[in-house]
Amino acid sequence: MGRRTDWCSCASRCAQIAYGLLTTLLLGAAAHGQDDSADIGFADQIDSGYAEDSDQHLLVSYRPSCRHCAPNCCTCVPGYAAGEMPQDYAESPSDEAQPMDITPQIAPPTPAQFGGVSGETYVAMAQNATGGYLDSAIVWSQVRFRFDAGYDNDTPDRAEFFYAKCGCFGPGSGAEGPPKPETSVDYQDIRLYAENAFNDRFSVFGELPIRFLNPVMNNNTAGLGDMNAGVKYALIASPTRYFTFQFRTYIPTGDSDRGLGTNHVSVEPGLLLWQRYGRVRLEGELAHWISVDGSDFAGNVLRYGGGIGYDLFADYRNNTRLTPIMEWVGWTVLDGGKLDLGQQGGVADASGETIVNFKLGARYVSGADSIYGGWGHAVTGDVWYQDILRLEYRRVF
C-alpha cells in the first residue's frame, strides 16, 4: 500500500510539472502571436510593457519544488535520490508536501520597444524630441517654459514678421508699428506653451508670450505679445519615426504701436520630421508663414531647418540622458516690404532676402522633465537677430 502511495504521489507531481510546461508554451505562443504595428497604434504595445516578440519577456518558473514531501516521495531533480535536494534549493520549514509554483513571473522588457533601447516608456517616447529651435514632430502632452534673448535686429518690420510697419509713415498708410524709424532692437521673450495629445497622432496646442523690447530709437516697453495656437497630426507615428503636419495661427494680441505684435493674423502650415537611429536623433521642418490682411509691408516667409542630436550620456532604463544638439534654421522672404532710409520714400522690397542661423545647445532629460540651453548666431548678412540665447524647461505627461 505504501509503494502504491509513492507511485501516486510521483504521478501527481509529474502531472503538475506537465501542466506547468503546457502553460508556459501557451503563454509564450499567445505573446508571440501578437501583431506588431510598425507605424500606427503602437500605444497599445507601450501599455502592455512589451515589444514585438514579447514571449522572450515571460519567465515562467517550472523548476521543481523539491521541498520535503511525504517519506520516500518521488524525487523532482534528476540525479538525486528520493527525498534529497540540491543545496541551492531552500528548505521548507514545513514537513508537509508543498505544491509546485508555476505562477508566471514577468521580467522587465529587454530590449525595449523604442529604438531597440531598453526601458523606454510613454514619457521616454515624448522626451525623444530633443531639438531646441525646431518644432517637434512628436505628438505628446506637455507644458513648456521658454526664455529667449535676441540681440541686434536691424530690420524689425521686414515683411511684418517681427513687428508691424514703422509708424513713421503716418496715419492712413497702414503703419501700425512704433513711431520712430528703428536701427536696432534687442528683445526678451518669456513663453508658456501647452500641448494636449488625444492619442499618439493628434494634439492641440497654444502659446502665450510676454515680450520685453529694448529698441535704440523708440522707448523700451513690455507686455503681451502675439499669441498662437494650432493642431498637430502625425501622418507617420512609430517608435523611431514621426512625420507630422502642423497648422499654427498667430493672433494679434500684442500692441503693435509698442512693437509687441504685427497687427495682423498669420497662418503657418508646416511639415515636421523626427527620426531616430540608436543614439542619433534627426529633426527637420518646413513651414510657410502667411500674413493675412496686413499692410503693404506684410508678406509670406518660408521657414526651413534641420538638426542632429547624439546621446552623449544615456541611462535609458531610468530615462536619463544628456544630448548635445546642432541645428540650423533658415527663412526666405517670398514677398513684402521693409523700412530703408537709404531708399527714396524709405520703402524697400524685402522679397528674396534669406536669413540663416546656426544653433548649438544641449538637452538634459530626467524622467518626465528636461531642460535645454542653446545659443544661435546669424551666418548671413540679413538677420532677425545677430545672436540669440535660449533656455527652456519642459515637462511631458
How is the chain split into domains, by residue range?
A: 2-106, 122-396
In angstroms, rounded to a whole number, what is the distance separating the alpha carbons of residues 23 and 299?
A: 68
Which of 25-29, 167-171, 271-275 has the least mean pLDDT? Answer: 25-29
Most confident of 99-113, 146-160, 161-175: 146-160
In angstroms, rounded to a whole number, what is the distance separating the alpha carbons of residues 279 and 199?
A: 26
* pLDDT of amino acid 87: 54
Which of 5-19, 167-181, 187-201, 326-340 has the least mean pLDDT? Answer: 5-19
* pLDDT of amino acid 294: 94
Mean pLDDT of the chain: 80
Residue 6 belongs to what H/E stretch? Answer: helix 2-32
| For residue 220, pLDDT beyond 60 | yes
* pLDDT of amino acid 78: 52
Got the DSSP string for 198-218? SSSSEEEEEEEEEEEEEESSS
* pLDDT of amino acid 113: 37
* pLDDT of amino acid 367: 94
* pLDDT tens sequence across 80-89: 555 555 554 4
Between residues 102 and 326, which one has the greater pLDDT?
326
* pLDDT of amino acid 34: 42
β-strand 265-277 against 241-251: which pairing, if any? antiparallel
* Stated pTM of the model: 0.72
* Mean pLDDT score, 147-174: 94
Angle (CA) 187 190 193, round 5°:
135
* pLDDT tens sequence across 91-135: 444 444 455 544 444 333 333 333 333 334 667 788 888 899 999
Q: Which of 146, 123, 121, 124 is nearest to 133 (CA)?
A: 146
In angstroms, rounded to a whole number, what is the distance separating the alpha carbons of residues 181 and 138?
A: 41
* pLDDT of amino acid 115: 38
| For residue 57, pLDDT beyond 70 | no
Task: Tell me the Ramachandran region of residue 152: left when phi exceeds 0, alpha when psi lies from -120 to 50, beta otherwise.
Answer: left
| For residue 231, pLDDT beyond 90 | yes
| Confidence label for 328 from pLDDT (cuts 50, 70 and 90) | very high
Angle (CA) 16 19 20, round 5°:
90
Backbone angles phi, psi at 127, to 5 degrees: -75, -5
CB atoms within 10 A of CB 145: 14
Domain 122-396 sits in CATH at 2.40.160.40
* pLDDT of amino acid 255: 98
| Confidence label for 275 from pLDDT (cuts 50, 70 and 90) | very high
| For residue 331, pLDDT beyond 90 | yes
| Confidence label for 14 from pLDDT (cuts 50, 70 and 90) | low
* pLDDT of amino acid 171: 82
* Mean pLDDT score, 147-165: 98
* pLDDT tens sequence across 184-215: 999 999 999 999 999 999 999 999 999 999 99
* pLDDT of amino acid 267: 99
Task: Tell me the Ramachandran region of residue 319: left when phi exceeds 0, alpha when psi lies from -120 to 50, beta otherwise.
Answer: left
Amino acid occupying residue 106: I
* pLDDT of amino acid 253: 98
* pLDDT of amino acid 126: 80
| Confidence label for 344 from pLDDT (cuts 50, 70 and 90) | confident
